[in-house]
Every structure is written in structure tokens, then in C-alpha cells.
Structure 1
Amino acid sequence: MGIISELPVDLVEKIAAGEVVERPASVVKELIENSIDAGASRIKIVIRGGGRGLISVEDDGCGMGRDDLAKCVLKHATSKIRSESDLWNLHTLGFRGEALAAIGAVSEMEIESRPASEALEGSRIILSFGAADGPHPAGCPSGTRVSVKKLFGNVPARMKFLKSDAVEFGHVHDSVVALALANPSVRFDLSCDGKERLCAHAADFADDDAMKSRIISLVGDSVSAGLKKIYEPAPEISVEGWVSENGRRGGKDIHIFLNGRPVRDRLLIHAVTSALGDGTLRDRYPAAILWMRIDPSKVDVNVHPTKREVRFANSGAVYEFLKSAMRKGLQSGFPTSAGSVRFPGVENAIMRFEERRECQPLRGFSNFASGEKRNLEHRDLFFTSQDLPRLRPIGQLGLSYILCEDENRSLVVIDQHAAHERLGFEALKNQRSRGGVAGQRLLIPERVELSPKELAHVMEHFGALSEAGFEIEHFGGNSVVVKSVPEMLAGISLAGFLSDLASDLEELGASSSADDAVNRILTRIACHSQIRSGDRLSDAEVAALVHDVVRERVTHCPHGRPALVKIDPQEIEKWFKRD
């Protein structure tokens, strides 16, 4: 008898649901996308208990009749595509026909809907962990309301990995903000546990003042200064939006919408940040809210059930177009280290995208002597703490690296930020082991505004923050007040620090210990307070840093990246054909 067998239907449904429904925010996203596809002009979202207690999404869209309501909860049932060719000409956010069936398989879900053409009554259907009851007649306004309770009630393993109510609501809030930015003509109302948390009034895309007001209300006041509009149209690819130089570190205020769909694509984000030249090396990031339109036949959104990942038929041309359009729009705006902004013609990028000229392959790096590529993968480039030699400083390279010579005449390259970050981290750990991290009380306590998700992560770790030298209190709303900071952080931007720290704390798993949280905080303190890439060092500072690196036997930063790399003299001699 064979060992392979078909899985039970209920288990298959739970597995499929896991691909679409990761947490309450996933449910909210899928339901809002359905509302937008239904032509809603107003969407109301109600959350209780972080989404565990209740998720309700109500819209004034086209609604569904009795027959459609019965079909909408079936797997792969949709009104949005009819054939394979439709996958390459998508004009809706949803198309897979999976969301409602997946949500209904792991919750108690009730859907009420009435088309505007039905004046008397609508219909209601209830799914209880996959079992359907209805549709039945029901009195309800035109449009659709979906209510979800007991999410993951039949999947306790998934429930175990959910975070606190505050953190889960933070994820919901982020999803609503992204979709509200993507659809300015739709009004969004979000409440949680009886309190209004977001109200975004509809705005006319052509009304610049209304659009700026909506963006600021959703993203925050920090982006209001210097908010500039960019616009670059073309038949098959275009971009329009608003940008500001006052974004948060890590590109957290970069929102890109591709054909109306929020996407988080590294290629596009890099194109946006690189428009600032090398400013991002000094922790400068823009805030950007960009609407891109691309011929649907040249982009694949059917990569993952969440539809956040995309593939482009010509990714290089898309990158070049967005970067060039950003630089063109900002040439009188953000300064770069090179002075005035230079950019290749947007027209060239459009021609590449529309395949009106051949794309020239990029020339690869080659060996100086023969042009043959060298494989350095297995070379002994990195040190361990046991074999770190004495080093003689030579100088600073590119305001980022320190060049040294060791006892064997090898060239040693030190990443000044990574090395100093490790030194700071070890110093903080030593302070903690001796009784506590040295703190400094602020003369005037500083109030810091955070996003709901960031606030939740910070509040969850108040104890660890106190152990790391902070004194922080909740100040109401989404803000905290900071009264004391570690001495090492004196003078840095607390808003940027806490925002980055919240992202670090989000990565901690449910099984993480209190020590894990404290070490993550100490790592972030060291990262923010130490020498940065781009800092010019005096000869004395270079010598002092090299001395400390050797004394403390530093080889890697706290994140695990190498802090030193060595190049043997034999390798250098080969470059000059002296071997």
C-alpha cells in the first residue's frame, strides 16, 4: 500500500486559507479590495479586539443579488475574469476568487448585500468555519457588509502566532492607510473598540490642495514641508504623485501603487530613493506617494495570493523610467552630494519600456589584467576573533572605510560604521552587566508621535526599554513622552530612533525572551549613536578606532555583517601581473 494519500477537504481549505489570511489585517485588505472593485465611494471598517473579536467592512458599492451571494463564497468564484487571457489584462484589485472562501473557512463570517436596483430587501449568507447557511432574505441598505468573528477559531496554531490586540490593530491601520492612499476618491472610516481612529475624506485627484490634505492626514504632518507634485505621462507607462524630503528612515513613507494596487517592490523603492543621489547613505529618505500606470499586459500580479509582489516584462526599463521621472520632477528640489541633479532622458526610458530600441547589456566587472571574472567566493576574506592581527592605519577611503596593513602585509579594510557599532554594543552590554545602562535625563521631555503599530511595539517593551536606559510613558493617542535616554543617544532624533526600533521589535517572535528584546534595543542604540558611513574622521580618530577594534577583537557588527575584510598581498600582486 502506498504512503501518499489525498488530504481531507477541511485540511485543504485551512492550508489554502493560510496563504491568503495571515492575520486580521489580511482580512481587512481583502474585504476593502472587494469594496473598491464594487465601485464603493465610502467604506466603513470596524475592529474589535485587534480583529479577533470583530472585523466589519461595510460599503455603498453595487451590492450582490441572491444568486451572486451564494456563489461569492465558493472557491475560485469571481466576477472579475472569465478566461486565461484576462489574467494579462487585469483592471481590478481582486481576481483569484479565493478571499471570501478562505476567510469563511477559518472564521464565522456573515455577508449582507443588496443591489441598488432591489428596493425592498437584500440577502444574507453565513459561513461558520466553512459550512454555509443561506442565502436568506434580509433587510439591509444597498451595498455590502461583511462581518468576521472568531478568526482562526478552528486553527489554534495560527491564533498562537498573533500578537497583542494593539499590534494587530497597527497592522490593520497600515493596510487601511495604504488602500486609502491608493484610492483618494473613496472615503474611509476606521474605528477600533468604539473609538474613531481614522477618517479620510474623499478627494478629487485633480484638486492639489485636497490631495495634499488627504496625504498629510494619512501619512502624518512630517511630510507636509516641501511636498511637491511630479507627473510624467506616457501611453504605456506613467507616474504621478507627491514627494517630500522628510520621509522616515528605511523608506517607511514610500507608498507605490501600481495600477491602483499597493505594492512593496524593492526595485521601485530603490528607484525612488536613488533619485536623491547618495543622500540615503546619510539616512535621508524621501516620502513618496506615487501612482504608476503600466500596460497590464507588461506586468504580472499573479505571483502570490497576497498580490503584493509583481513581475515586470522589462524591469530595467521600469526602474530607469521611475528614477528618471523622480529626478526630473525634483531637479529644483532635493539637493544631492553632486550638486545639481543629472538624469538620463525620461524619453529613453519610455523607449526602452516600449521596446522601440534594443536594451544594451550591462558590462560586467572584470579582472584588471585579462578581463576574466574572478571567483572570490571561497577566498579567506574574513577574520575571526582568534586571528585578528595588529594593524597599521593607512587612511580613510570614501568616508566609509579605513585602510590598514597587517603584520603579513595584507590590506585590511574596516567598515567604520560596522566596527564602531560593535564597539558601542559591547560597551552597552558591559554597562548592563555592571548594574544598568547609563541614562541621561532630558531637560525638556520630548513628545514623539508614532504610528499605531509602532506605538504598540514600543509599549509592549516598556520594561526592556527601561532596562536599556530609557524612561518612556504613553502620552495619549499615538504618542509617547521620553524623559530619559541612554547617554550614548544624547542629541539624536528620537522620532527616527523609535520608529526604527519599533521595526526591530516587530521582528521578535512569540518565543523571544526579555533578554532578546533588550539586546535588540542595545543593537539599535549602537547603530544610531556611532560613527556613520560618510563621516570624515581625523587621523587621530582613525588611529583610535583601529586600536579599539584590535583591542576588543571586533570582527562583525551586532547584525552579523563583517566589519573587516583582508586582501592578501599575493592577490594584489596578481592585479598588477607581478605573480
Structure 2
Amino acid sequence: MAKIQLLDPRLANQIAAGEVVERPASVVKELVENSLDSGANRIDLEVEDGGVKLIRVRDNGSGIDKEDLPLALSRHATSKIRALPDLEAVASLGFRGEALASISSVSRLSLNSAVAEAESGWSARSEGRDMSAVLEPIAHPQGTTVEVRDLFFNTPARRKFLRTEKTEFSHLEEVVKRQALGRFDVGFSLCHNGRAIHSLKPATNQLEQERRLASVCGPAFMENALFIDRTAANLRLWGWVALPSFSRSQADLQHFFVNSRYIRDRLVAHAVRQAYQDVLYHGRHPAFVLYLEVDPANVDVNVHPTKHEVRFRDGRTVHDFIFRTLHQALADVRPSDQTNTANLQGSVNPLAPDSGLAMPVEQSSMALRPSESSPSLSTNPFSSSASYGSAYQPAGASASSIAEQMPAYQNLVQPVSDNTESQEIPPLGFALAQLKGIYILAENASGMVLVDMHAAHERITYERMKRAREGEGLRSQPLLVPQSLAVSEREASCAEANAAALAGLGMVIQRVAEESIIVRELPVILADSPVEQLVRDVLADLLEYGSSDRIANHINEILSTMACHGSVRANRRLTVPEMNALLRDMEATERSGQCNHGRPTWVQVSLAELDKWFLRGR
């Protein structure tokens, strides 16, 4: 075995560069974060050949003194921390002193800077080897300009792993977008090969912030986004979350910031996924731009060289806060929040002319008979404890309450000379017809609404059953034969420490040995579930995230199945009062925009879209 020896400084710098400099995008991240930490409110970037040939970052920050320029290019030199307490409460974006040194070791780097009221600026140059920086005076406004040329010119083995110019620039642009989303108060510009790509002015209010969001994330995101802002337990979560109908095939539109730092964290990802799980179609991903503000002393950012991962001092509190905030925000969405903009429910319009779907309406299903009497609602009242029949019977509905809707409905379908605009039209409007026994066609103030009656009623039934269960609480029952499980010592300790919390979920578990537990009770509704797998999954969640939603998920799956079987079926003919009652229930039900499986329950088609289909006004 070879003897231990000190590494050559040049080799040590290049090894450090391997941690920080993966590709041009990595260089841009480090340089832009330095600019932000310097107090800059304007950052301009110019790149060539995807950043391989040139990266120039110019800012108007505080600048660097002449005496500090050589230190800025030295390893383990920084202005951002002084002692260990500073490391435990990092408030800046970065503090890696070797970042500039590592970048200069694999490129030709020049650092130009000037401080306020200085007679001139100064330039320090370094070219990929362990040498003292060469200083010379230059004309330079207050701030700093860093030029990085010929990345990996002296390490061809690493340069060959770079991708095409288009791919490298795509990664670089994504870094700039994230920094622009993280700091609305800073203006950004990006040029590639002399062509302007982005020019973003500082955003000082919510309207300007949303304009920047639309520019970076696309206007469709903003059209489908909800703004949230909540503070609790010394935590603040604010930002924008997209409606479940604006889901993505990939997790490519998910931006989460902790104290303005972009992160990818498993705990955060789990909390967001849990909040969306009841409304998102299987295999789809939510879209969001969220900001968490927390005391810097309660989050450790020095977990990973790239600082993309963090560790929270109280992970369970953070997880629950994020989950509950998003869960409630999504639950509070009602059709009235979505009908102001046409066709918010999905990127594909099922009624588009090129979809190949015709719109025949059978005469027998038109049901345009206001005088038709509705069936007696007292014979089969719809409630969470009722046996669900094939007919739709809304909870709390009465013949008189439905009849009150009919005058406005008649004004919609029968032109009259009176001023019908004074009538208050509900968000989902009034039913006009039933299509093929599956869809309800309604008219509202914006145009046409099409409702999948089974999907909508399924969500209504599901939410009522969940509320009924929450009101009664979880009832548990002893297992006929208590089940013994062999687990790890860590899992057994977790079960013992969380015994009270597990009991609150209807699960009674007792530790009987260092690596053995006994399951004595389970929730009644999960009596037929696989006990061992359920317990192991719950313990795994408790160890990973400090909480578990496995039991609630299993119960909700059962309730969802029951709701599906208890909802109105396809080809069931509904009367106009029944259809209107369903629309009113949708307007009052949480998460009514999606069924239990995440499919949309209704779509809005604006009058402008209808006119466009038929070339009206041309």
C-alpha cells in the first residue's frame, strides 16, 4: 500500500472543483449567489457556447476591496462566516470559500471589482494553476464582474462529459430562473451568444411578482395558480400552488425555497405530495412555487456541497405545517374561484373541434320541463349514513329549495323582456340538459359548463363520508389473535416512543422485546387489511418523516371505494331539479373539482371559445 502524502495544491483544488463545478450551470449558481450576498439588486449574465466558452456575471453589489481580491481567489477564505456560531445560523446563500478557487483551477478566471467611492477598480486574474493572483487597476463601476473562460480547458477528461451546447444552456437557464424566483427584489438579464433571453425587472408587489412568475413558469401556470400566505409556529409559508387539474407528467415545475434558497428536500416533497394525494390523478405531479421562512438557527444548510438539501431542527413541525397549509388551501377551492377564467379545468378541452367528440343531445334527455315535479326527497334522504340508491338525492335538499332555483333557470332558457342580468347566477349555472346519461350541460355567466355527474357525485359522497368518520372518530377493535412481528431495534424503539400517537390512530402496539412487537388492536375499518405490511409502512414513515398518513390513506381508500359504488351511475336519467341540486352541492363541497381518483369533474367553456369554434365575429 502506498504511503500517505500531501496532495499537490493544484490537484487538491481540482478535487474540490469536482464538488462544486459539475457543469457551466454550477459555475453560474455559485457566482450569482455571491452577487446576491453582496447586496446587488441587478445581475447581468452573458454566456457563450452554453457557458463553456464564456460566463460573465456582472452585479452592482458592494464590491471587493483591492486587498481582499487575492484572498477571494484563495481556498477557505470567506467574508460570510467568522466563527462556529455563524455556521450554525447561516443567513447567506453560500459560504464556500473554495468556490472561486475551485472555479479558477479549471478555467481562465478574471475578477474585476470596485467599492463605493474608490478612485478605481481592480482586477485579479488566475489561469488554472496554483499561483498568486495578478492585480492591476481598471475602470469599473461599483460592483463586481467575474469572467470564466474556457471551462475545463486543463481537464479534458471532465470536459468530454459535458453535453451539447443546447443541453448545457438549458441547465444554466434553469439556474437563472430559480434565482429569479428566489429573489423578486433583484433584476436579472441573460444573454446567450449575443441574443437576449431574459430581462426581468425587480418585482416589488404581488402583481409584478406574478408577472415574473408568468414569464419564468409560463402564463398557464399563473392562470391555474392559487396564492397562499400563512404563518404559524414561527414559520411562514407563502407562494403559489397550481390547481390539481394543472398537473404535470414530470416534477419539472416544482420550486421550493427556504429563506430564499432553492432546495430539493425529501421531507418537503413528502408533505406536498401528501397534501395533493386526494385530488391528483395517479402518476401526475403538482406544480408550485413556494417560500418557507424559518429562523436560520432552526435549519442546517451545510448538509450537501451544493446546498440543495437542508436539515430542519424540528422536521415534524415543518412537515405538518406545510401539509396542513396546502391541504386546506386546496380544500377551500370552489367552482366560484375558477369560473372567472374560461376553461381552467385542464389543458385539453374535451369539447374542442379537433377532439372528434360530437355533442348529440337526445330529445328524451333534454329534461327542459320546469313544471315537472321532482321525486319526493323524503323517501330516500341522501346523507352520510344513508344507503345510496341509484337516484341522486342531495343532503339537506328540499323540494322548496330546488323550486327557488327555477325562476332564474327559466329566465336562462326562456328569453324574456325582463332584465335577467340582475339575477344572481351560481358559479356552475343552471342545468340545461343531460348528455348520453353521463354529462350535465349547464349555462353560467361565463358560458357553458360540462359536468361528469358520476365523478362529481362521487367526490360529494366521499367528502361527506370523511366528515362523518371524523365526527365519530376512529374506532378500534382487538385482533382475535394478536400478531407478533420481528422488527429492528430502531423500529421497536420507534413503536414504543410513538405508542400514544399510534393509539390515537386506532392502532395498539406493544413492545415485548428489543426486536419484537405485538399488534393488539387495529381500526375497525381496516380489519381485513394486511397487518404486517401496514405496521411496517407506518413505522417506516415515522422514522423518516416523524409522522405517518398510512392509516388515514387506507381508510380513505376504503371510503373512496364505498363512495364510488354509492354514487349515481352512468345512464341514470336525472330531472332538472336533481341536476341543479347536484350543481349546488358541487359548489359547496371541498375539492369538488376532482373526483376521488384525481379526474376533473367539470370543465368551463367560455363564450369567446364557442364563438371561435364557429368563426363568429370574423
TM-score by length of 1: 0.59
- Give the match for residue 268 of structure 1: 268
CA distance in 2 between partners of 1:43 and 1:49 (Å): 20
Post-superposition offset of 1:254 = 1.4
- Give the match for residue 233 of structure 1: 231
- Give the match for residue 48 of structure 1: 48
Matching of residues 264-343 of structure 1 within 5 Å: 264-333=264-333, 338-339=462-463
Post-superposition offset of 1:68 = 1.5
Q: Deviations along 1:147-196, whole A, 9 cap, x unmatched? A: 00111111111111110010000000110000100000101101111111
Q: Mark the structure with the bigger radius of gyration.
A: 2
Task: State the secondary structure of the residue aligned to 1:248.
Answer: coil
8 A contact 2:42–2:59 mirrored in 1: yes
CA distance in 2 between partners of 1:398 and 1:235 (Å): 32
8 A contact 1:62–1:143 mirrored in 2: yes
- Give the match for residue 77 of structure 1: 77
Post-superposition offset of 1:6 = 2.6
Task: State yes or no: 1:248 paired with 2:248.
Answer: yes
Structure 2 residues without counterparts, runs of 5 or longer: 336-455, 471-496, 511-516, 521-530, 535-555, 559-595, 600-618
Task: State yes or no: 1:122 paired with 2:121.
Answer: yes
CA distance in 1 between partners of 2:220 and 2:499 (Å): 41
Flag the 1:48–1:362 CA change in 2: closer, same or farther, 3 A: farther
Q: Deviations along 1:220-258, whole A, 9 cap, x unmatched? A: 122022322111123621111112222423332111110
8 A contact 1:75–1:101 mirrored in 2: yes
Q: Deviations along 1:440-478, whole A, 9 cap, x unmatched? A: xxxxxxxxxxxxxxxxxxxxxxxxxxxxxxxxxxxxxxx
CA distance in 1 between partners of 2:173 and 2:334 (Å): 30
Aligned-pair Cα RMSD in Å: 3.4
- Give the match for residue 24 of structure 1: 24
Task: State the secondary structure of the residue aligned to 1:170.
Answer: helix
CA distance in 2 between partners of 1:29 and 1:363 (Å): 44
Structure with larger RCO (C-alpha < 8 A, sep 6+): 2
CA distance in 1 between partners of 2:181 and 2:289 (Å): 8
CA distance in 2 between partners of 1:145 and 1:233 (Å): 39
Task: State the secondary structure of the residue aligned to 2:124.
Answer: strand
Flag the 1:109–1:287 CA change in 2: closer, same or farther, 3 A: same
Post-superposition offset of 1:88 = 1.5
Flag the 1:235–1:323 CA change in 2: closer, same or farther, 3 A: closer
- Give the match for residue 517 of structure 1: none
8 A contact 2:239–2:290 mirrored in 1: yes
Task: State yes or no: 1:158 paired with 2:158.
Answer: yes
Post-superposition offset of 1:374 = 5.7
8 A contact 1:254–1:269 mirrored in 2: no
Task: State the secondary structure of the residue aligned to 1:199.
Answer: strand
- Give the match for residue 427 of structure 1: none
CA distance in 2 between partners of 1:183 and 1:334 (Å): 31
Aligned-pair identity (%): 37
CA distance in 1 between partners of 2:301 and 2:159 (Å): 29
- Give the match for residue 221 of structure 2: 223
- Give the match for residue 93 of structure 2: 93
- Give the match for residue 566 of structure 1: none
Matching of residues 374-385 of structure 1 within 5 Å: none
- Give the match for residue 9 of structure 1: 9
8 A contact 2:111–2:147 mirrored in 1: yes
Post-superposition offset of 1:321 = 0.4
2:6 maps to amino acid: E
Post-superposition offset of 1:366 = 8.8
1:219 maps to amino acid: C
8 A contact 1:275–1:327 mirrored in 2: yes
Task: State the secondary structure of the residue aligned to 1:273.
Answer: helix
- Give the match for residue 58 of structure 1: 58
8 A contact 1:222–1:247 mirrored in 2: no
- Give the match for residue 214 of structure 1: 212
8 A contact 1:113–1:145 mirrored in 2: yes
Deviates more, 1:176-185 or 1:290-299: 290-299
Matching of residues 190-201 of structure 1 within 5 Å: 190-201=190-201
Q: Deviations along 1:62-97, whole A, 9 cap, x unmatched? A: 111101212111111111110001112111101121
CA distance in 2 between partners of 1:75 and 1:360 (Å): 50
CA distance in 1 between partners of 2:117 and 2:499 (Å): 57
CA distance in 2 between partners of 1:535 and 1:90 (Å): 41
Flag the 1:133–1:287 CA change in 2: closer, same or farther, 3 A: same
Deviates more, 1:129-138 or 1:280-289: 280-289
8 A contact 2:508–2:519 mirrored in 1: yes
Flag the 1:114–1:313 CA change in 2: closer, same or farther, 3 A: same
Post-superposition offset of 1:293 = 0.9
- Give the match for residue 606 of structure 2: none
CA distance in 1 between partners of 2:125 and 2:88 (Å): 34
Flag the 1:143–1:247 CA change in 2: closer, same or farther, 3 A: farther
1:101 maps to amino acid: A
1:128 maps to amino acid: E
Q: Deviations along 1:535-575, whole A, 9 cap, x unmatched? A: 99xxxxxxxxxxxxxxxxxxxxxxxxxxxxxxxxxxxxxxx
8 A contact 1:273–1:280 mirrored in 2: no
- Give the match for residue 106 of structure 1: 106
CA distance in 1 between partners of 2:184 and 2:72 (Å): 27
Flag the 1:71–1:280 CA change in 2: closer, same or farther, 3 A: same
8 A contact 2:278–2:597 mirrored in 1: no
Task: State the secondary structure of the residue aligned to 2:286.
Answer: strand
Matching of residues 480-519 of structure 1 within 5 Å: none
- Give the match for residue 175 of structure 1: 175
CA distance in 2 between partners of 1:327 and 1:66 (Å): 53
Post-superposition offset of 1:262 = 0.4
CA distance in 2 between partners of 1:535 and 1:74 (Å): 54
1:220 maps to amino acid: G
Matched pairs, number: 370
TM-score by length of 2: 0.55
8 A contact 2:301–2:307 mirrored in 1: yes
CA distance in 1 between partners of 2:557 and 2:291 (Å): 36
Post-superposition offset of 1:104 = 0.7
CA distance in 1 between partners of 2:53 and 2:45 (Å): 13
Flag the 1:226–1:121 CA change in 2: closer, same or farther, 3 A: same
Q: Deviations along 1:416-440, whole A, 9 cap, x unmatched? A: xxxxxxxxxxxxxxxxxxxxxxxxx
